[in-house]
Chain A
Amino acid sequence: MTVDATPAPRAPADTGAKGRPHPIARLIWTRTALGLVTLLVVSILIFAATQVLPGNAATAVLGHNASASAVRTMELRLGLNKPAVTQYWDWFSGVLRGRLGTSLANGQPVWGLVGPRLLNSLVLVILAGLIGALLGAGLGMFAAIRRDKPADHVLSVGTLAVTSLPEFVVAIFLVIIFSTVLLHILPGVSPLESTSGAVKPWQDPKELVLPVAALVVVIVPYIFRMMRAATIEALESDYVEMARLNGLSPVRVLLRHALPNAVAPTVQVIGLNLLYLAGGIVLVEFVFDYPGVGQGLVSAVADRDIPQIQFIVLVLATFYIAMNIVTDVAALMATPRRRVAR
């Protein structure tokens, strides 16, 4: 009996070696290039929206009752007398070289105002993202293992009940419960010096508890649901059935066979939630008067401080685009099917 007529496996040894770039490298390159183009268009849009499009930015800054001479001075200061393209180039090249201009509200350099806020916001986002991801994924896996048991029902209904709650409503409830009406155990408003940035939030961790908690409450339900659904899907899959039929222990089936396949979709959702945090911090920082870029944006908009608005929005968009790439790469790494070429 002839044993075999099938060819050798399709080039497993030279995966990604022969001239063709590795799938991950290729993804990073194309996404980064595309991201930079997107960012360029975004910067044009930001600039057009704040400075060029809506009639006269100077009147927008000063209000409609401003005197003609004041408007003219402001026009000169904003460079509105130059052609739009020149204005944009002045601004954009300035941003690239780190010259962000000065605040219209108090004349201080924009970087000096926004820089410390960036750090503060980053601390908030990283803490909320980390805690939310761990909590959501952990609870999700627990619920999946306990599928249709009381613990699963409690968790599933509980998370459903907080899904899509506006973040400022969550924040307000936290303030009511923990720092004003019911209990007085945590500070409800951050007493940090808002503008100077002299005090860092991590020097008084208590300040961070409620803002972080509010963001965690908002993102956990989504991560929980995806982890639960993906784990259940993996546990129901043919390959897990096969692993059971091959006599593997339940723990091994769960950790080695089901879990790796639940990671990729969960990573994707964690990424989406980090993206969400870019916008989510605005309202939460506002509620707690936390000195981050979100709160900075709100006060800059209130003050019509155009240079600050432009820079903060550009930073948020950059974070969004970069985070998107990171998420895609991470999800790719977690999926051998896509990571390793055939």
Chain B
Amino acid sequence: MTVTTAPARLVVEGLTVAAVGSGATIIEDVSVRVAAGEVLGVVGESGSGKTTLGLAMVGHARRGLEIAAGSVCLDGADLFSLSPAELRKLRGAAMAYVPQDPSSAINPSLRVGGQLKEILTTHGRQGAEADARLQEVLAEVGLDSRHGILSVYPHQLSGGQQQRVAIAMAFACRPGLIVLDEPTTGLDVTTQRTVLETVARMCASYGVAAVYVSHDVVVVGELSNRVAVVYSGRVVETGATADVFGAPAHPYTQGLLRAVPSPERSGRLVGMEGVPPRPGQRPPGCGFAPRCPLVIERCTVAMPELVPTDRTGQLARCVLVETGQAHTEGALASASGQDLAEPAESGAAPVLQVTGLDAFYGQRQVLFGIHLAVPQETCVAIVGESGSGKTTLARCIAGLHTSWTGEVRYGGRPLTPGIRRRPKDVLRGIQYVFQNPYASLNPRRTVGGLVAQPVENLAGRRRGRHNDEKILDALRSAALSVEVVNRYPDQLSGGERQRVAIARTLAVSPTLLVCDEVTSSLDVSVQAAVVELLRRLQRQHGLAMVFITHNIALIRSIAQQVVVMHDGQIVESGTVADVLDHPRADYTRQLLDDVPKFSAAITGASDA
């Protein structure tokens, strides 16, 4: 995969998008070009401005934003100098956009068929011609119109089907340019796999110039020919995908890759501390400087230019590259380290023993005969897709879901379903970390108050003492600065909030920690740091841990044992190495197959 020589269909030059009132730039001086038949991946974490960039590429700026400088040319026509009517003619016909969340981007009040057909009729295809094209494009995205899909409302479709409808809308008029904004976010890996295949196939067969915007480095690595890494509104590195991900030159790209978990490589993840600067509060020099491990004085003075690295067509915006000091290491290689320790001796009694657990929502049974043992000082990962019952299982253990039968023993004692009748030392011993740290911390309490709460309720301490050593210790062990003790949750980043949630469990010295999808709402660099923190705490405090996740790639970095769940049943369990390296169940094999992976070109390049 070398740099394309075909003429560019989309040319973005010096594009700057700014907020209307304050003039704060969301994206700044972005230049990229995409040729027909090429897929450009745009990678960035939340707040990087990647969605704004994606929309600008189809000539759109959201309310409150404006194109401050630069141009976007499609087949030579500058989109920003066209009249609204001329632009409308191109939209949906010559260029199309696939939104992030199809459930909100397809009109809930209109039938699917009407919305699809409307695009065709708007762009001059009438009657039978439109119908024929409609059938064709539906078949191409893998939807069968015989099932009456045209006459349903969007809410009657599954997430994957909605996304297919959105893709069909985009391809309906055979556009020359297509921008896809995180089209698989929120989908299960299996669905994500089929949607990604559809996208790849259609981009290839239509020969479109495609831009794929995503936070997911691996998905972009799999799908794109070329890639642009966006940080703090600027392109920090760009080039052929194999070059950029195989031999990243920019410290941010390197950090991003080190944070990516993989089902194939075991080892520690390396997170990046800090958060990206907000628009309008960006530092004068390199936007990444405050988080950069290799920062030197020059970085904070002036914004470095995008300069060529030693590979053809690869550009990076870094002082070290400018001065030729960059070591374009194989970042992925450094991620693989020693294997996690094997679980403790199996002779010891398990901390938690679940036997024949059936759980119900009303009349509906959602868990079927679950058997599970969590040995001491061991992390058991429970992995499954949405609807597999993994969270319900966690909630049964914690006493949050009460409608179950069977037996759950903790330290040899059977547990009651509800928390009301569990003794205090059990409540203290089993601690729970929730999925979304934006919801699990009371916004009206300070961090100190939040961490003190379980101690007060469970260890019988006096109320109102939020500053003493025990609280501060808990914060320190969760790698938080003690200064946050008087802050409120909304003054913290997502990663910091999740650390507070972890600190409040540590404060009561639990023996079993139940972590429910604790990283799924975090950026990958923050996820890595939180996972690494949990791994360290588990080791240090000798905790038993149940780690619920949908991301099978994560478990090598945290767990010693794994349980794979599907449709409320356990399909496979064993040590992590056994299950991931030699899966026995078909479902596990499929799950592993469907996880996006870097191609050999990238991993191969990293070995070179």
Bitwise, A305-342 to B at CB < 8 A (1) or not (0) is 00000000000000000000000000000011100101
Check A4/B142 contact, CB under 8 A, given A238-B101, A342-B155, A342-B156.
yes
Say if the beta carbon of A185 comes within 8 Å of chain B.
Answer: no
Contact (Cβ within 8 A) B63 A6: no
Report how far A48 CA is from B509 CA in the complex, Å: 60
Q: Does B185 contact A (CB under 8 A)?
A: no
CA distance A240 to B99 in the complex (A): 12
* Stretch of A198-206, A241-249, A269-277 lying at the B interface: A241-249
Q: How far is the CA of A2 from the CA of B157 in the complex (A)?
A: 21
Name the contact of B142 in the complex, choosing from A6, A236, A340 (C-beta under 8 A). Answer: A6
One digit per residue, 1 when the CB lies within 8 angstroms of any chain A CB and 0 when it does not, for chain B 65-103 equals 000000000000000000000011111110011010100
Contact A3 B119 (CB under 8 A): no
> Does A247 contact B109, Cβ atoms closer than 8 Å?
no
| A197, chain B: closest CB distance, angstroms | 45
Q: Could you tell me the distance in whole angstroms from the C-beta of A250 to the nearest C-beta in chain B?
A: 8
Q: Is B442 an interface residue (CB 8 A)?
A: no
Interface string of B135-175 (1 = CB under 8 A from A): 00000001110011101110111101100100001000000
Instruction: Indicate whether B599 reaches chain A with its CB closer than 8 angstroms.
Output: no
- Assess whether A6 is in contact with B108, with CB atoms less than 8 Å apart: no
Answer whether A12 and B149 are a contact pair too, CB < 8 Å, given A1-B201, A244-B60, A247-B92: yes
* Interface residue A225 (Cβ < 8 Å from any Cβ of B): no
Known contacts: A9-B148, A12-B147. The answer to whether A244 contacts B91 by CB under 8 A is yes
What are the residues of chain B within 8 A of A236 when measuring CB–CB?
Answer: 63
Q: For the complex, is B104 an interface residue (Cβ under 8 Å from A)?
A: yes
Chain A residues in 8 Å Cβ range of B89: 247
A58 CA to B58 CA, complexed, in Å: 80
- In contact, A247 and B151 (Cβ under 8 angstroms): no
Say yes or no: A12-B151 contact (C-beta < 8 A), given A6-B158, A244-B60.
yes
**Contacts between chains A and B (CB distance < 8 A), count:** 121
Q: Most B CB atoms within 10 A — which of A6, A236, A342? A: A6
Whether the pair B160, A245 counts as a contact (CB closer than 8 A) is no
Residues of B within 8 A of A29 (CB): none
Q: Which of A1, A9, A247, A257 contacts B161 (CB 8 A)?
A: A9
Measured CA separation A243–B106 after assembly (Å) = 9
Query: B190 on the interface (CB 8 Å rule)?
Result: yes
Q: Which residues of A contact B153 (CB under 8 A)?
A: 336-337, 340
Alpha-carbon gap, A342 to B157, bound state (A): 8
Quick one: closest A residue to B179, CB to CB? Answer: A245
A13 to chain B, nearest CB (A): 5
Kindly provide the distance from the CB of B485 to the nearest chain A CB, expressed in whole angstroms: 39
> Which of B93, B105, B118, B198 sits near A238, CB closer than 8 Å?
B105
Is residue B197 within 8 Å, beta carbon to beta carbon, of the partner chain? Answer: yes
Is A173 engaged at the interface, CB distance under 8 Å to the other chain? no
B477 contacts A by Cβ under 8 Å: no
Among A4, A238, A335, the residue within 8 A (CB) of B99 is: A238
User: Count of A residues near B, CB < 8 Å?
Assistant: 37
With A239-B104, A337-B153 as known contacts, state yes or no: A246 contacts B169, CB within 8 Å: yes
B161 CB contacts on chain A under 8 angstroms: 6, 9
Q: Which residues of B contact A241 (CB under 8 A)?
A: 60, 62, 99, 105
A302 at the interface (CB under 8 A from B): no
The residues in B between 404 and 442 inclusive whose CB is less than 8 angstroms from any CB of A are none
Encode contact with B along A233-273: 1 for CB under 8 Å, 0 otherwise: 00011111111111111001000110011000000000000
Across-interface contacts of B156 in A (CB, < 8 A) = 9-10, 12, 15, 340, 342
Contacts of A248 in B (CB 8 A): 88, 92, 118-119, 122
B302 at the interface (CB under 8 A from A): no
Find B58's partner among A2, A6, A245, A340 (CB 8 Å cutoff): A245
- A340: nearest chain-B partner, CB-CB: B153
Which chain A residue lies CB-closest to B197? A1
The answer to whether A243 and B107 touch (CB under 8 A), given A1-B201, A3-B142, is: yes
Chain A CB within 10 A, most for which of B93, B109, B153: B109
> Is B110 part of the contact surface with A, judged by Cβ < 8 Å?
yes
Contact of A245 among B97, B107, B108 (CB under 8 A): B97
A336 with B155: CB separation less than 8 A: yes
Residues of chain B within 8 A (CB-CB) of A252 are 118, 122
Chain A hits for B603, CB < 8 A: none
User: Do A260 and B110 touch across chains, with their CB atoms under 8 A apart?
Assistant: yes
On whether the beta carbons of A5 and B194 are closer than 8 Å, the reply is yes
Docked complex Cα distance between A2 and B99 (Å): 24
Cβ contacts A to B, 26 pairs, < 8 Å: A1-B197, A2-B197, A3-B198, A5-B190, A6-B142, A6-B191, A6-B194, A9-B149, A12-B147, A13-B148, A241-B60, A241-B62, A244-B91, A245-B92, A246-B91, A246-B169, A247-B87, A248-B88, A248-B118, A249-B122, A252-B122, A256-B110, A256-B118, A257-B110, A336-B153, A342-B155
Leading 10 A-B pairs by shortest Cβ distance: A4-B142, A246-B92, A247-B91, A247-B92, A12-B152, A260-B109, A238-B104, A239-B107, A238-B105, A8-B147
5 more A-B contacts (CB under 8 A) besides A238-B104, A241-B60, A256-B118?
A: A6-B194, A10-B156, A238-B105, A246-B169, A337-B109
